[in-house]
Amino acid sequence: MMKSLSENRESLWRLIVSPSVWALHFLASYVTAAIWCAKFAPASGSIAPVRWLIAAYTVAALLAIGWNGWNGYRRHRLGAAELPHDADTPEDRHRFLGFATALLAGLSAIAVIFAAMAVVYFQDCR
Amino acid sequence: MRPPHSRPPRKAYYGDAHPFRGLGQLAAGRRPTPLMYPARAFLFLVWFALAGCSGIQSSLAPAGDGAHRIAGLFWWMTGGALLVWALMIWLTYSAFRGRASRQSPRLARLYIIGGGALFPTVVLAVLLIHGFRMMPPLLASAPEGSLRIAVSGEQWWWRVRYHPPSGPPVELANEIRLPVGEPVEFELGSPDVIHSFWIPSLGGKMDMIPGRRTRLTLRATRTGTFRGQCAEYCGTSHALMAFPVVVMEAADFARWLEGQRQPAANPAEPLLAEGRDLFLMNGCAACHAIRGTPARGRIGPDLTHVGSRLSLGAGILPNDPEAFVRWIAETSRVKPGVLMPHFGMLPAAELDAVAAYLESLQ
């Protein structure tokens, strides 16, 4: 039985899920810290609540990226084909998109961790 | 007849007109050939780069805690960048030199995953963590009871108000003096546009933003005279918005501040008294204050002890009578766009009197 392949439907969208999660994580962290420091804390005020919120965003973002990356990895492992997935077949296009999804998930995970590291070292609004 | 071993007369070439001509000849010790132009360009670049390593306005000749940290970071990053660069050049070279058969797929994968993904990630993580760790100490406040100096960046000069731990504040302008070894807290602001307060020898820069108060703590580690400069484009004369910085022994600083706190002395000579009267009569007092006289303007810099400053016009002219005349008579030529109107219509004798009076305000 032929497996149904998603090469020309959702897997193209899945490619950009991880970078989008990274962008949302960055935006959410930035906006949270900016609003807290502008409205709720003095210039030298503590950002403790912001740190916990950003920790939560980070866990959520890494879970989403991990799920997306694992998904891509499974598509990359379809059948017994080896890299590079460059044959002109639906299967190889499917594998290629999966592999690219997995690599982008790795990049996005590192970016999310780098962004979150700021609040490990910064304690106040300065 | 020419003596033996002497060189034939040199032909003219286009580099003769260049201000840095001769650099390449100096290095090579012979007539210039077309090949020497790159050598000269290189020497010029080296000279240009090294010129930034010293002087009164260099981050690389640090005289403050913040500047020491920043210079350290610069040198580590420069060294690291050179190492990575050399590694890349070597890899490129060996890739072209090596035989294709010896470049196994395994090795290629190692290069791609190790050199393309792991290595940059580790290098960036180290730099990022190091940078993050540096920032809180650079932004830390000075301890309670330290000297506070409120500096306001105004197009295109600096209003400087000293708040010593004891005693009333003293408002001065266009020069900053600090006691050596003591943390000083700067409160920075602006009434017009965004400026940036930067004394490269002492520390990092900090923006001065209308409607906000930003803070910067500096601790000078040695005495000396340095230079600060506005570091955010703020209009026509942005580049002419500078100030001298003098780091003094604590006792000298206290004595100096006490002197600056005093009102201006009464003019002792007729010329100086005439200068003071002209200053008041021509409307200068609408914008400038000279404590101890009826001049109480708040729009422009306080001039109570203007003669004692190291520069005029916010770090752009020497402080002498000729420079005063030039500033008063050709204000907008010296500092294009300046708000102060020029007083070039005054007779030369009157300009001289005003200049002599201002110079006498020690």
User: Cβ contact (<8 Å) for A114 and B136?
Assistant: no
Nearest CA in chain B to A38: B212
| Residue B4 pLDDT > 50 | no
Give the number of other Cβ atoms within 10 Å of residue B160's Cβ. Answer: 21
Mean pLDDT of chain B: 87
User: Cβ contact (<8 Å) for A117 and B213?
Assistant: no
- Does B133 lie at the interface with A, CB-CB under 8 angstroms? yes
Work out the minimum CA distance from B132 to partner chain A, whole angstroms: 6
Specify whether B251 is located in the same domain as B350. Answer: no
pLDDT score at B36: 64
Residue B178, SS3? Answer: strand
Residues in chain B: 362
| Residue B22 pLDDT > 50 | no
Specify whether B225 is located in the same domain as B297. Answer: no
Please say whether the beta carbons of B89 and B46 come within 8 A: no
Work out the minimum CA distance from A83 to partner chain B, whole angstroms: 11
- Residue from B329, B348, B352, B358 nearest B265 by CA: B358
B319 part of a folded domain: yes
Residue range of the domain that includes B160: 57-98+141-261
A8 part of a folded domain: no
User: Cβ contact (<8 Å) for A126 and B215?
Assistant: yes
Please say whether the beta carbons of B150 and B170 come within 8 A: no
pLDDT score at B186: 96
What ipTM is given for this predicted complex?
Answer: 0.83
What are the tens digits of pLDDT across the range B323-342? 999 999 999 999 999 999 99
B133 part of a folded domain: no
User: Cβ contact (<8 Å) for A118 and B132?
Assistant: yes
pLDDT score at B42: 81
B40 part of a folded domain: yes
| Residue B183 pLDDT > 80 | yes
What are the tens digits of pLDDT across the range B84-141? 999 999 988 887 887 766 667 788 888 888 888 899 999 999 999 998 999 888 888 8
B residues 34-63 lying closer than 8 A (beta carbon) to A: none
A40 part of a folded domain: yes
pLDDT score at B105: 79
**DSSP letter string, B201-239:** TT---EEE-TT--EEEEEEB-S-EEEEEEE-S--STTGG
Specify whether B40 is located in the same domain as B61. Answer: no
B119 part of a folded domain: no
pLDDT score at B244: 96
**Confidence grade of residue B35 (pLDDT, cut at 50, 70, 90):** low
On chain A, the residues whose CB falls within 8 A of the CB of B141 are 44
The domain boundary, picked from B234, B261, B288, lies at: B261
B179-193 burial code (b ≥16 CB/10 A, e <16): bbeebbbbbbbbeeb
The domain boundary, picked from B241, B261, B281, lies at: B261
- Measured CA to CA in angstroms, residue A95 lies from A9, A72, A74, A79 at distances of 14, 8, 9, 9
Mean pLDDT throughout B143-164?
94
Residue range of the domain that includes A90: 19-121
Give the number of other Cβ atoms within 10 Å of residue B56's Cβ. Answer: 16
- Does B125 lie at the interface with A, CB-CB under 8 angstroms? yes
Please say whether the beta carbons of B135 and A122 come within 8 A: yes
**A42 or B5, greater pLDDT:** A42
**Confidence grade of residue B33 (pLDDT, cut at 50, 70, 90):** low
pLDDT score at B48: 74
**E strands along B212-352, which residues?**
214-219, 224-230, 242-248, 311-312, 317-318
A109 part of a folded domain: yes
Nearest-by-Cβ selection for B136 from A106, A114, A121: A121
Domains in chain A, number: 1
Domains in chain B, number: 3
pLDDT score at B150: 97
Specify whether B166 is located in the same domain as B285. Answer: no
Nearest-by-Cβ selection for B133 from A43, A114, A121: A121
> How do beta strands B147-154 and B157-163 pair?
antiparallel
pLDDT score at A72: 87
pLDDT score at B27: 43
pLDDT one digit per residue (tens) for chain A, 126 residues:
345 555 555 567 888 999 999 999 999 999 999 999 888 887 778 888 899 999 999 999 999 999 999 988 888 877 776 777 777 777 777 888 888 999 999 999 999 999 999 989 988 887
CATH number at residue B350: 2.60.40.420
Specify whether B333 is located in the same domain as B314. Answer: yes
User: Cβ contact (<8 Å) for A121 and B125?
Assistant: no
pLDDT score at B128: 92
B343 part of a folded domain: yes
What are the tens digits of pLDDT across the range B197-256? 999 999 999 999 999 999 999 999 999 999 999 999 999 999 999 999 999 999 999 999
Taking the C-alpha atoms of residue A122 and residue A41, their distance in angstroms, rounded to an integer, is 14
Strand partners, B187: B150, B215
